[in-house]
Amino acid sequence: VITAEYVQEFLKASADLDVPLSVAEELVPLVRGQREALARLDRFDVASVRPAVGFDPRTPFRA
């Protein structure tokens, strides 16, 4: 469950960012929206897919 307290603690623990609880409250719906959006990626089976790092747009166009 994403709460203001969780947002505040996460930002402090993960990035040493201090935000007041009032700001954390404003962030709650935004963080929820981000998690919901990123969850849309879960449906893709990427276990054997090579990541697009070292990216070259020509790669799939080569035989």
Partner 1 sequence: MIAPAQLDLLELSAMELALQLRSGALTATQLAQAVCERIEVTEPILHAFISFDRAALLEAAAAADRHPSTSAPALMHGLPVAVKDNLDVAGVGTTAGSRVLGHVGRVALEDAGAVAKMREAGALVVGKANLHEFAYGATGVNLRHTTPANPWDLMRIPGGSSSGSAVAVAARQVPMALGTDAAGSIRMPASLCGIVGLKATFGRVSTRGVVASHNATVDHVGPLARSVADVAFGLQVLAGYDPADSTSIDEPVPDYITALDQRDSLRGLKVGVTATYFFDAVDAEVESGVRTAIELLGRLGATLVSVDIPDLQDMMAARLAIFADGLAFHIPHLRAHPELYSREIRHRLYVDTFVQAHDYARANRVRRLLQERFARVFLDDLGVDLLASPTTPIAALPPDQWSVSFGQSQPEPVGLALLRLTAPANLTGLPAISVPAGFTAAGLPFGLQLIARPYDERLLLAAAHVYEQAAGWYKRRPPGVGA
User: Alpha-carbon dihedral of residues 14, 17, 22, 27, nearest 10 degrees?
Assistant: -50
- Regarding 22 and contact with partner 1 (CB under 8 A), the answer is no
- Regarding 17 and contact with partner 1 (CB under 8 A), the answer is yes
CB atoms within 10 A of CB 24: 20
Q: Which of 5, 9, 21, 30 binds partner 1 (CB under 8 A)?
A: 30
- Decide if 44 contacts 27 (C-beta within 8 A): no
Residues that bind partner 1 (CB under 8 A): 7, 10-11, 14-19, 23, 26-27, 30-31, 34-35, 37-38, 40-44, 46, 49-53, 55-61
